[in-house]
Structure 1
Amino acid sequence: MEIRVVNGVGEGHTELSAFDAALKGSGVYNYNLLYLSSVIPSGATVKEVGTLYDMEGAIGDRLYVVMAEERGHRPGETIGAGIGWYQFGLEGGFFVEHHTKGDSPVEVRERLEYLIEYSIRDLCAFRDKPFQKEKLHHNLSITTIQNKPACAMVLAVFEHETWNT
């Protein structure tokens, strides 16, 4: 199984429409999102692909994802979302999802990187696994709000499935 990591930002007249614009920006709009917790199955690979416009499927199909997203509406505020992941070779692994707001892209990036790293450190400890920083990966989406509400998101897309109709 290949799990694809995508990200997007969007803006709209409302925070909800900004969320939809961010889904479109990441290439995963028009699907029903089914949120998963954070476990990467044994044998799976994780690949950063940017967007998923090439994904097959019909409008309304189910899309299994781990997602981090942040919405906001205050001009000048910076928002960000990020997913980190860590794998134990063929034994699987896990994702962590974080989101935050701040005064600058640098502040938001540093906060997300801290949250992701220390969540992963804890999850390794809970599993009695050693933490090796070189195995830590992350993908961030950060934007500064202009004149309209905005959304930043990152998704780990597992698979899509049609409805049996």
Structure 2
Amino acid sequence: MKIAIVSGKDEGPTRLNAFDNALTAAGIGDVNLIKVSSMLGKNTQVKDLPKLKPGAMVNCVLSSVTSSKPGDTITAVVAVAIGEKLGCVVETTGTNKDPQDLIGEANFMVNYMMEKREVEIKDIIIESASTTVENIASVVASVVYLNDEIIEG
């Protein structure tokens, strides 16, 4: 199994536009995202996000938060734990919470999931996006499940 881990942040004139702009900043704005739960296959490989086919149906774990309150600090986090038997992904978000606290929360949750399954962790990767809202802003962090059908070229 191959995945890419991405994040993005942006502003927009509406909540939907801010979210769309954040997805585009993350490189996943031109595809259809299908939210899936948090399991990975054994020895999952993390790759750079390739160019995706416009309109492709793309499985992902998505963490996102949008705010229209100027001055809010918004954060989206995903944490990935990879093991030899399987892997797990967690997501969390926060408004006006310390981004480092949210990263710590995600790290705790993904470690717990792997421990509960009695799987030794080979690697943990955490990706986050955080911004202070000027007008209307959105942040996203995502684990994108890659396969040949969705990759352009």
* TM alignment of 1:40-119, pairs within 5 A: 40-47=40-47, 49=48, 52=49, 54-57=50-53, 59-88=54-83, 90-102=84-96, 107-119=97-109
Report the TM-score when normalising by structure 1.
0.81
Deviates more, 1:23-32 or 1:120-129: 120-129
Identical-pair percentage:
26
**Residue of structure 1 equivalent to 2:131:** 143
What amino acid is the match of 1:154?
A
How much has 1:156 moved relative to structure 2? 0.9
RMSD: 1.9
Distance, in Å, in 1 between the alignment partners of 2:127 and 2:52 is 23
> Are 2:143 and 1:156 aligned?
yes
Structure 1: gaps of 5 or more residues: none
Distance, in Å, in 1 between the alignment partners of 2:59 and 2:68 is 28
How much has 1:42 moved relative to structure 2? 1.7
Residues 56, 30 of structure 1: alpha-carbon distance in 2 compared, 3 angstrom cutoff? closer
Distance, in Å, in 2 between the alignment partners of 1:56 and 1:14 is 26
Distance, in Å, in 2 between the alignment partners of 1:121 and 1:159 is 24
Distance, in Å, in 2 between the alignment partners of 1:27 and 1:117 is 24
1:28-48 CA distances to partner (integer Å, 9 max, x unpaired)? 11211111111111232124x
Distance, in Å, in 2 between the alignment partners of 1:122 and 1:56 is 33
Distance, in Å, in 2 between the alignment partners of 1:159 and 1:124 is 22
How much has 1:128 moved relative to structure 2? 2.7
**Residue of structure 2 equivalent to 1:23:** 23
Structure 2: gaps of 5 or more residues: none
CA contact (8 A) 1:71 1:150 kept: yes
Deviates more, 1:28-37 or 1:107-116: 107-116
How much has 1:153 moved relative to structure 2? 0.6
Matched residue pairs, number?
149
